[in-house]
Every structure is written in C-alpha cells, then in structure tokens.
Amino acid sequence: DTSGDRYNGKCDKDGCDFAPFRLGNSTFFGPGSSFILDTTKPMTVVTQFITSDGTDSGELVEIRRKYVQGGKVIENPAAVSGGSGHVSISEDFCSAAKKDFGDVDAFSQQGGLKAMGDALEKGMVLVMSLWDDHAAHMLWLDSDYPTDQPSTKPGVARGTCATTSGDPDEVEKDHGDSSVAYCNLRVGDLDSTYDASRAPSCSAGQMSVVV
C-alpha cells in the first residue's frame, strides 16, 4: 500500500463489503441483549448466492446474508448510509457505497459480481480463520479507519474498538490462546440449509455457517 500500487494488480483488495455498522446501523451486531444479534450467543450465518435466472449456472447478480438466532430468522438490515436502502450486495449497492464513501471502485473495475461468479464456477476453497493484522491492526474491521480521517465522515466508523487496539504484538502476547470454532457447515438450495426452530448445536462463542 505504501508504494501506491494497491490498485495496480489483478486482485481486488477491497472487495465490496456489507457491514451494518459502517453502513450506519450500530445496534445490529454486538455483545449483549441490546443488539439484534447477540455475539455472546451461538448463531447461524446464512449466505445466499443469487443468479440472474435462478439456476446454478446463471450469472451471479446478488449476495444475500441472513442469520438465525434464538429461534428467529434475522434478515440483513437495510443500509442507512453508503448505498442507502439496499439490504444485500448487488452491483447497484457496491457502486453506490463506493461513491458515498469516496472509495476506489476496484470491485467494478475488476468485473464485479459477474467476475466473482465466474471465479466461483471454477471452484474455490472456503477458508475460515482467526488472525491478526500487521499492516492495519484490523482497524478496517471494527474501529475508525483510515485513522487520519474524522469518524464523522461516511464510511470511516466501522465499530467501537479504539484506534489504538489490535496491535499484533500485543494480541499475540496477551491473547495467544484465543480460539474460535465453526460447526454445522452446510451447502444446499436456497433456504434449505437452516431451521429456525432448531437451535444450533454449537456452544457459546461458536458459529454455524451455511450457504
């Protein structure tokens, strides 16, 4: 990044993200009963890939996210800022959010959802991990980032963590025994991989992932 070559390669390093906090909803995801999704309790995360013709071979045009917790299916909230009104990842949402936040739209430049769908068609490996960040201390995920911009600027506030947090030396020294568990991974037709009436068999602090 410091060389100025971030957007000169073939990899879309930014992607197109739908993060409720960054999009203006600070009460959707967090620890405790005051949040719609309580991160202290097990949840099922559902990701759906929608094609133009509803078939497995159609062009990818939308990515939806929903959650299951406490016997309820919880839909993704609508964006408040940055692609306001959208509830899922689409070409229109990505372009609007990039414009509203003043971000480089490398996602569209690299082919957008169609290019992603073409890549998925060739086959990918799902990787889930617990990691730290030596470049930006994960501030892009749940703090104010970039740190040289005011938190009031659209797209900068991404979570409640302090901008001094996430130092990898500190994380590895003080929290080297941290862990996460993913369970009940499933793949299937839309809305066939989860059951709101059945609680996840994961323990607290674990996440059930289905697509």
Query: Following DSSP, what letter does each residue of 46-65 receive, concatenated?
Result: EEEEEETTSSTTSPEEEEEE
Q: What is the mean pLDDT of residues 23-38?
A: 95
| 117 in Cβ contact with 52 (< 8 Å) | no
Residues in CB range of 27: below 8 A, 6 or more apart = 34, 35, 36
pLDDT (tens digit, 9 = 90+) per residue, 167-195?
999 999 999 998 888 888 899 999 999 98
Q: How confident is the model at residue 22 (pLDDT cuts 50, 70, 90)?
A: very high
Q: Tell me: pLDDT of 165 over 60.
A: yes
Give the sign of the dihedral formed by CA 106, CA 64, CA 203, CA 186.
negative
Confidence of residue 9 (pLDDT cuts 50, 70, 90): confident
Report the percent of the chain where pLDDT is more than 90: 73
Q: How confident is the model at residue 85 (pLDDT cuts 50, 70, 90)?
A: very high
Q: Are 64 and 88 in contact (CB under 8 A)?
A: yes
Of all residues in the chain, what percent carry a pLDDT higher than 70?
93
Closest alpha carbon to 159 in 59, 39, 66, 13: 39
pLDDT recorded at residue 198: 74
Look at residue 48 and tell me whether its pLDDT is greater than 80: yes
Q: In this structure, what DSSP letter does residue 72 have?
A: E
Q: Is the peptide bond before 168 cis (omega within 30 degrees of 0)?
A: no
The pLDDT of residue 163 is 97
Structure-token pair, residue 138: 């994960």
Q: Which residue has the tokens 């929608």?
A: 50
**Range with the poorest average pLDDT among 1-15, 45-59, 77-91, 178-192:** 1-15
What's the pTM value of the predicted model, to 2 decimals?
0.89
Q: C-alpha 141: how far from its chain's center?
A: 9
| Mean pLDDT of all residues in 99-110 | 94
The pLDDT, as a whole number, for residue 101 is 95
What are phi and psi for residue 65, nearest 5 degrees?
Answer: -130, 135
